A and B are shown apart, each in its own frame.
Chain A
Amino acid sequence: MRKVYKLKAGDVTALQGISFDIHKGEFVAIMGPSGSGKSTLLNLIGCLDVPSSGELILAGRNVRDMSDDELTFLRRDEIGFIFQKFNLIPLLTAYENAEYPIILQQGHMDEEGKTARMLKLVGFGDELMTHKPNELSGGQQQRVAIARALVNDPALLLCDEPTGNLDSVTGGQIMDILKGLNEQGRTIVMVTHDPNIARSAHRTINIIDGRVAS
């Protein structure tokens, strides 16, 4: 798999010939220094971008053959994103943020109480449901983000430095949640540069200069 960015200043090869498999139920950490291409790799797995050449097979389907809408639906139904900056929508309450993917998928509000169940699962307090993101702590925001990633019951969770903006205690709590989710059978791919965090994973893929190092 290769990824080349065509820029005005010249082509930038972010990933050059990367190949590996991730199996269902695995917890994989991708590590590497900044600029190594690990975020690019995560974006490709998350179908936010398409490889320049080579093949990316997700659950038996080659993403290069898929239209923009098909990729969007794949992100909506099969992939949950967890970001370093939480990336909640500031206009919406915590509950509405977590509910959003259900509305996108089903076309109507959550009528089955799934949003509330997911928020409870990640340890988010009932009393905070109607708060806007800027009224929540980092740890609380990340719990909402995880609930949002889980609410459509995706097969794959993609985490980009999920503890990067959190103190070590809160970061540990978030990692416990992720480990728990993996134990329930969810596949997790996590980008990090922190070896302590990577230790939670079953396996670590090191990326240096756009290649797999080990």
Chain B
Amino acid sequence: MKKKKNVFFQLASRNVRLNLSRSLLAALGIIIGVVAITTMGILGANIQLAVSSNLSSNANSIIITPDAGRTGGFGPPSGGTTSLLITDNQVREIEQAAGHNVVVPIHSGSDLIQVGTKDKKRVTIYGLPPDKVTNFVEIAEGSTLRGASSGVLVGSTLARDQGITVGTRIKIGDESTGTNEVVRVVGILEPKGFGIDLMPDNAIIAADQWYTSVYGSQGEYPQVDVLIQSIKDIPTVKDAIDKKMNKKVKVVSITDSGALLETINATIGQIGTFIILLGGISLLVASVSIFNVMMMSVKDRINEIGVLRSIGTTKAEIRKMFIYEAFIIGSIGAGIGGLVSFIGGYLLVRLIGTVNYFFTFPSIIYVPYGMAIGIAVCLLSGLYPAAKAANLNPIEALRSE
């Protein structure tokens, strides 16, 4: 049986060779389609992997914020304080619930700053316990905060934009904000990118004592972070804090970076799928050209089909011959397309970000995926022409020139 198959395969491949330019043009469509969906798939996978890994570098914290839905309507009448902040007492409750994990209350607010004679700019200012700072950020230059001094750390983007270096003095506040302080920069931070606990790249980090001495709000925090030593404890600790804090009414929202990671991953995945679908459109166009080539091939060979039928070739064998032809065109297209998307994908990923994840399974799997889809598209577009060839009336086919 094998050799018989080979004869039809031979006939099919001879025909591809005989109409080489036409077949190659059709294959080119498949190449473009395969490259489009494969590189887009690889790109999406690499972005997702890179973002996940960035996020999971701070995936070991639980963030507690006052519940935005809390308006005081359910609790006992409060003494007129309507601002939503977590108090020192609540921090102690959180500490009890968190066990041996470190709890860090974080002050944050915003104010105008001025460097030298440059324009004033509004930035976020964090107040952190100096000994906990390195749990959140890495120092690129200079040193970390020490004690209650008025030294501050500056995020990488802010430092670059404002030309701030270690030793620069920054004026904080003006008449409109009611503050008027001058601080000295002791350290510049490494870029951190997107984080759910702190976003320090465009911010200033100061010691908590300095923060409360300037802005007040001692013992009141907009955010409390719990640094979890082992990621698998996150659900337990989250649960414990929830039980302790949200007894009757919801007082605080508890978020962990894992949940956020999932949401972000899902979003990137959806965008990736959408882009691949766009690439799929080019494959659809390619399938039309394959269809066209196959129909022309059938038309060119009507007489030959008639001869083959008259000397005893079955319909199924005729069909097979044309499907082989589609398969050969598809394989050429998918093979070249796979190679091009492998190289092109690597260059594209390198251009946009890091190639650290290029050779991982979730990224490289798009090459065989894309190739398989390319071949499948060819086979599908070959089905109708092949059936048409097989069902030709042999007498009419013989009569045609």
Contact = CB atoms under 8 A, between A and B. Distances in A.
A107 B307 CA distance: 18
Q: Of A75, A101, A149, A152, which is in contact with the most chain B CB atoms at under 10 Å from its CB? A: A75
Contact of B311 (A49, A68, A104, A108): A104
A76 B311 contact: yes
A72 B307 contact: no
A148 interface: yes
Contacts of A148: 311
Nearest to B306: A87
A101 B395 contact: no
Given A87-B307, A103-B7, A107-B3, A73 B398 contact: no
A72 B279 CA distance: 44
B15 interface: yes
Contact of A89 (B3, B307, B314, B315): B307
Contacts of A27: none
Contact of A73 (B306, B312, B395): B312
A91 B311 contact: no
The size bracket of the interface on B is 20 to 34
Interface string B61-96: 000000000000000000000000000000000000
Q: How many residues of A sit at the interface, in one of the four size bands?
A: 20 to 34
Given A87-B398, A109-B3, A69 B314 contact: yes
A46 B4 contact: no
Given A43-B395, A83-B398, A103-B7, A91 B312 contact: no
B312 A101 contact: yes
B311 A75 contact: yes
A81 B309 CA distance: 11
Interface string A33-70: 00000000001001011000000000000000000110
Contacts of B14: 91
A72 B18 contact: no
Contact of B18 (A81, A91, A101, A105): A91
A81 B3 contact: no
A107 B303 contact: no
Nearest to A80: B311
Contacts of B351: none
Interface in B285-329: 303-304, 306-317
Contacts of B317: 104
A109 B1 CA distance: 11
Contacts of A68: 314-315
Interface in B306-360: 306-317
Nearest to A86: B307
Contact of A100 (B309, B311, B316): B311
A87 B312 contact: no
B4 A107 contact: yes
A83 B309 CA distance: 14
B311 A107 contact: no
B394 interface: yes
A152 B314 CA distance: 16
B11 interface: yes
A161 interface: no
Contacts of A92: 11
A92 B395 CA distance: 22
B398 A89 contact: no
A158 B221 CA distance: 101
Contacts of B315: 68-69, 72
Nearest to B7: A103
Nearest first, the 9 A-B pairs at minimum CB distance are: A76-B312, A107-B4, A108-B3, A87-B307, A75-B312, A72-B314, A91-B14, A48-B394, A103-B7
13 contacts: A46-B310, A49-B395, A69-B314, A73-B314, A87-B398, A89-B11, A89-B307, A91-B18, A92-B11, A104-B4, A104-B317, A107-B1, A109-B7
Interface of A: 43, 46, 48-49, 68-69, 72-73, 75-77, 81, 83, 87-92, 100-101, 103-105, 107-109, 148-149, 152
Given A87-B398, A105-B312, A108-B3, 6 more contacts: A46-B310, A73-B314, A75-B310, A81-B311, A107-B1, A109-B7
